Amino acid sequence: MDLSSVPTVAPSVLSADFSDIRSALLLCENADVSWLHLDVMDGHFVPNLSFGAKMVADIRKRTRLFLDTHLMTVEPERLVPSFLDAGADAVTFHLEACVHAHRLLEEIKKRGASAGISIVPSTPVSALEPLLPFVDLVLIMTVNPGFGGQKMIPECLDKVSRLREIREGRGFSFRLAVDGGINESTVDEAARAGAEILVMGSAFFEAPDPGSVVNAVRSRYSRAARSDPGHSSAAATAAALGRR
């Protein structure tokens, strides 16, 4: 399979039924996805509260999916160890919430996990540039974080395109993820921008047939990616990391 034209779809458990997480995991596995996105909200960095490390630990016991944990919290450095102990495969935190971001990235990687960093719509790519040599994943928020079911802010995809250019120009190997308003109607734009990991919440869990949605998204992504002459070489760089 050509990894340069097939995205990683990561359903966001935030949109699942918390009273029946086991069924949500089965839904993901039956839809042939390999990642699960775990949105951790603290009620401070974003308005809502979601769950803590125990939820991640309980999910870890019940699935082999790659657990992609996204900390939308203040002081992420205080929380990262507990989520790594819980079994997170990747931990992404917000640049806006952490003073010593380089130190935290290195600590995550020392524990054997993938280290990611995220920015909200109001933060420019330039704020991230000093950290790009040290990250495994960059998550661009395409909505203002804190609530599911929002419409994508398409201008945020310009950041993905810019990061793709920087990655190619400087030989980096981080992967590019987008989170917010990703569905069958917006995946073409995300693919052309260069996103390789697509976080999907309500579009997945509220669908009558999530597996069909995943197939449709992958198909549309592949067509859009093939139509973009700059996509294949850029995505090939990220594909070297594998589609875990």
> Residue 149 has what DSSP assignment?
S
Q: Which of 32, 39, 42, 158 is catalytic?
A: 39
- Active-site residue 58, yes or no? no
- Active-site residue 39, yes or no? yes
Alpha helices (H) in 67-143, listed in sequence order: 76-86, 101-110
Q: How far apart are CA 116 and CA 118, in angstroms?
A: 7
Q: 99 near 67, Cβ under 8 Å?
A: no
> Residue 151 has what DSSP assignment?
P
Q: Which of 68, 179, 188, 228 is catalytic?
A: 179
Q: 25 near 65, Cβ under 8 Å?
A: yes
Q: How far apart are CA 88 and CA 114, in angstroms?
A: 9
* DSSP conformation letters of 2-70: -GGG-PEEEEBGGGS-GGGHHHHHHHHHHTT--EEEEEEEBSSSSS-B---HHHHHHHHHH--SEEEEE
The catalytic site residues sit at: 39, 179
